[in-house]
Structure 1
Amino acid sequence: MSAIVSETVRTCPQFYDIDPMGVVWHGNYARFFELGRAALLTKIGYGYDAMLASGYLWPVVDMHIRYYRPMKLGQWIDIVTSISEWECRLKLDFLARDAETGEKLSKASSVQVAVDMKTNEMQWQTPPILKEKLAPYL
């Protein structure tokens, strides 16, 4: 499937993101991708508050990151987040680029699944609320 909706967030690594080698520590990349995830979900009207109100939790069950070039202190970064799958699970794709040059720094993907908050059971079908939120983009 191709992306149906995307959102871009601009951010800048801070001192606390940096490791002793002078670059963003690899474990902090997920935090940057979370900024993109939150912005995209808010864009479609299904941010974390709306998720909770809908009765579904959406835990991340899988994540992959590919590192191309390091992020550095003070470097402005664009995080482009796209939804590439929404049937039976929610797959997000991330691209981190240098905001000035457009150079690709890393890419990642994450998979989330719907869990009914009342029964704590994973849903094998896309909940109607997600289909409703994505309808304007399909």
Structure 2
Amino acid sequence: MQISFSQEIQLRVRYSETDQMGFCYYGHYASFLESARVETLRSLGISYRKIEEGGILLPVTSLQIDYKKPLRYDELFSIHTKLVSLSACTVTFDYVFYNQANEITTTASTTLVFTDAKSLRPVRIPNNIIDTLRAYEIAEK
């Protein structure tokens, strides 16, 4: 199912997130993506906590990232997160980072698999989540 839902959050690069060059260290970007993803789902009324309480985990199985411009200490930046697709057991998000000058600094994509917490096997996306996201489904041509 193709989905079109987007959300934007703003963050600031903290001193502890920079490297010796004064740039935001690349290893912190996965954490930024997680914050953006969680807030995107939260804005839809979907709670990671409730998913996990229901015995389902959402591990990231694919992360692709392209760094175009560095972010620096104390720089405010925004992450535009778009929920782009669902399959029987996966969800994919695309991300675009913008600096204060509204320049694209980073693009990324993650895919997560709905997974049974006990068996660690993929499971179907719960119906309540499918029902919520169906409102944002793009009609296939």
TM-score (norm: length of structure 2): 0.88
- Label 1:4 to 1:22 Cα distance change in 2 as closer, same or farther (>3 A): same
Structure 1 stretches of 4+ with a deviation exceeding 3 A read none
Moved more, 75-84 or 45-54: 45-54
Match of 2:95 in 1: 94
- Label 1:77 to 1:2 Cα distance change in 2 as closer, same or farther (>3 A): farther
Determine if the alignment matches structure 1 residue 18 to structure 2 residue 18: yes
Equivalent position SS for 1:66: strand
Matches within 5 A, 1:1-138: 3-88=3-88, 89-98=90-99, 100-123=100-123, 125-138=124-137
- Label 1:122 to 1:3 Cα distance change in 2 as closer, same or farther (>3 A): closer
Q: Percent identity over the alignment?
A: 24
More strand, by proportion: 2
**Gap regions ≥5 residues in structure 1:** none
Equivalent position SS for 1:38: helix
Counterparts of 2:109 and 2:72, CA distance in 1 = 21
TM-score (norm: length of structure 1): 0.90
Equivalent position SS for 2:135: helix
Which digits, 9 at most, give the CA deviation of each residue in 1:6-29, with x for residues without a partner? 110001000000000110011111
Kept after mapping to 1: 8 A contact 2:37/2:81: yes
- RMSD of equivalent CA atoms: 1.6
Counterparts of 2:122 and 2:44, CA distance in 1 = 22
Counterparts of 2:128 and 2:63, CA distance in 1 = 24
Q: CA deviation at 1:54?
A: 3.3
Kept after mapping to 1: 8 A contact 2:5/2:83: yes
Q: CA deviation at 1:122?
A: 1.0
Equivalent position SS for 1:63: strand
Kept after mapping to 2: 8 A contact 1:66/1:107: yes
Counterparts of 1:119 and 1:94, CA distance in 2 = 30
**Gap regions ≥5 residues in structure 2:** none
